Amino acid sequence: MGFNGVIHGPLPPQAHPSSYEGAMEALSSLITVRKRGDGSKRAEKFDLMFKYLKVLGLEDKIDGLKIIHVAGTKGKGSTCTFSEAILRHCGFRTGLFTSPHLIDVRERYRINGLDISKDNFLRYFWDCWHQLKEKTTDVLPMPVLFQFLTLLAFKIFLSEKVDVAILEVGLGGGLDATNVVRRPVVCGITSLGMDHMEILGDTLGKIASEKAGILKSGVPAYTVPQLSEAMSVLQDRAATLMVHLDIALPLQEKMLRGLKLGLDGLHQFTNASLAVALCRCWLEQTKHQTFFLDDNLDAGLPEPFLQGLCAARLQGRAEIVHDIPEKSLQMPDIDECSSNLVFYLDGAHSPESMEICANWFLDSVTGEKNSLKNNLMDEFNPLNTVVNGKMCYPNRSNKISKRVSIFQRLFLFLACQYIIKLILGYQIEHLKLVWIHRGNLLCKGHGKR
């Protein structure tokens, strides 16, 4: 049974309780079927998180984690990824919890920039599973999927003794499973937009109120430029809690000193700026060296910050993958220009995200087209297929139109998915991965929280 199913009764015989397959089957049993508009009992489910922490013996221990907590509609996964990479390059042992995953659930848990090993995952997984299973009653059922995954994150980060834990909110903020953290070091709220309206509310103000639920009295907070309706809600909540809410303005390209962000797209300059602010604040609050000589960033960012921003990687977020033909793998004189396909992958699943995705794609193709034009003018000899010692093919310029055509189909597919979600009430939580193979579209999704 795959990750989308629901199990009733004991694990099937082929899934040994201690095996990885057994763990995946166990996780599948926690998936609940939620209908559109079913935001009921969220508060009751959230309260159960504190009982689960007590069962696992983590209730007081999580206060020892030095946490960066990030909510938002768009960009929170990228912001968390930037933050993790920055602090890792500052010399700290990092723990990163993000969602969703593309292929393997272990992608949600990174220790020092790497997915947790299968052996360690199984050890922590079954420890949590058995402890919770033993205490299951009618009033304390097993946690639902995202709750369990969050509990497991706390278990992993405490056991791995990370210096910093970066937590991405799953859904909303105030009633999200990650919000059991009582005193993070710093909180961040990324760009806000209309998403999960059946649960979070049908206005930007209501959604902003949910996201602002992660703010804590006395805990520094940062956000990015927002629409006025959202910003006023965030500022009101911050004022009520006597929290100073700082606004991180998008990074200027000159601050990177000629380097390139590890995550592609102009929108990533906004996410990177928030990550820089969060990491700088975390360093200050934990009494570590900030690496900043002063507040003037015109001279550029400190070296560890630059290294982190450039090293950040997150699959499925404005990702470009070249499909190299199998025969090319045995022919080192053939480079990427021989690729028949280039995949432009992004998990956009809201109108705002799809617009950003479209802009990123067009910028990528336009930049490549200009580059190709210069290369063809300066280097390409149509009578000779060898350029600079490498074999190339004269059909490269045609690939731009192919990619535009492919993207148009992808964009139409995403738009149709969103319309179906709105009109028919289908709850498609996340678009995990899109494969475009010679004009065919295949979409894989995982189960709901």
* Tens-place pLDDT, residues 248-285: 999 998 899 899 999 988 889 999 999 999 999 999 99
In a domain, 36, yes or no: no
In a domain, 449, yes or no: no
51 in the same domain as 24: no
Please work out, in degrees rounded to the nearest 5, the angle formed at the alpha carbon of residue 108 by the alpha carbons of 32 and 308: 150
Q: What is the CATH number of the domain that holds 54?
A: 3.40.1190.10
DSSP output for 44-76:
HHHHHHHHHHHHTT-TTGGGGS-EEEEE-SBSH
Q: What is the pLDDT of residues 149-175, one digit of tens each?
A: 999 999 999 999 999 999 999 999 999
- Strand segments, DSSP code E, in 56-160 are 67-71, 94-97, 109-111, 114-115
135 in the same domain as 72: yes
225 in the same domain as 325: no
Average pLDDT over residues 421-434: 40
302 in the same domain as 328: no
266, 281, 311 — which closes off a domain? 311
* Structural domain span for residue 147: 42-311
Residue 184's pLDDT is what? Answer: 98
In a domain, 307, yes or no: yes
Q: What is the pLDDT of residues 298-354, one digit of tens each?
A: 667 999 999 999 999 988 877 888 877 665 555 555 555 555 688 888 877 777 778
Residue 396's pLDDT is what? Answer: 39
270, 293, 311 — which closes off a domain? 311
In the chain, what percentage of residues exceed pLDDT 90? Answer: 55
184 in the same domain as 141: yes
Surface-to-core class of residue 399, CB atoms within 10 Å of its CB (0-12 exposed, 13-18 middle, 19+ buried): buried
215 in the same domain as 114: yes
Total number of domains constituting the chain? 3
Residue 436's pLDDT is what? Answer: 34
In a domain, 37, yes or no: no
Average pLDDT, the chain: 79
Residue 196's pLDDT is what? Answer: 82
285 in the same domain as 256: yes
151 in the same domain as 295: yes
Nearest to 120 by CA among 109, 131, 112, 130: 109
Average pLDDT over residues 218-239: 97
State pTM to two decimals: 0.77
38 or 274, greater pLDDT: 274
Q: What is the pLDDT of residues 105-157, one digit of tens each?
A: 999 999 999 999 999 999 999 999 999 999 999 899 999 999 999 999 999 99
359 in the same domain as 274: no
160 in the same domain as 119: yes
